[in-house]
Amino acid sequence: MDKPEFQRSRRYLEAPRRSIGLRLLGTSLFVFWQVVRLTCCALLILMEPLLRATLVPIAFLSFVVTLIFGFLIGDPRFPRWGMLAFSVGTLMLYWLFLGLMSLFMTLPPAHDR
């Protein structure tokens, strides 16, 4: 009778070890994800003012140039649709960057005001 009781108590001792190991693995993966997420957030936050200061004015100025030279003056050699696509593309690139930022953090509601 001693032997089955010893095996039963051994089984009870092994079960918490597995759950402790799984909890330790889950906690370590969570901590690793938080470190990666915070590092990416810091890099994206540092890059955002530079990209905003370059991409948004480039998009606006190329749109204005397209309106003036492509549609108002009507120069036949001016690549109006290519310039228009370039201005929309630069603005979409900035929006893509903001979308990437939103994957790693929550932007405040008044971010673009």
With CA atoms as reference, report the closest residue to 83 among 66, 102, 71: 66
* Whether the predicted pLDDT of 10 surpasses 80: no
* Whether the predicted pLDDT of 13 surpasses 60: no
pLDDT class for 8, splitting at 50, 70, 90? low
DSSP, residue by residue, 12-49: HHHHHHHHHHHHHHHHHHHHHHHHHHHHHHHHHHHHHH
Report how far residue 49's alpha carbon sits from residue 60's, in angstroms, rounded to the nearest whole number.
16
Query: Do 106 and 67 meet the contact criterion of CB atoms below 8 Å apart?
Result: no
pLDDT score of 102: 84
Give the global pTM: 0.66
pLDDT score of 2: 52
pLDDT score of 104: 80
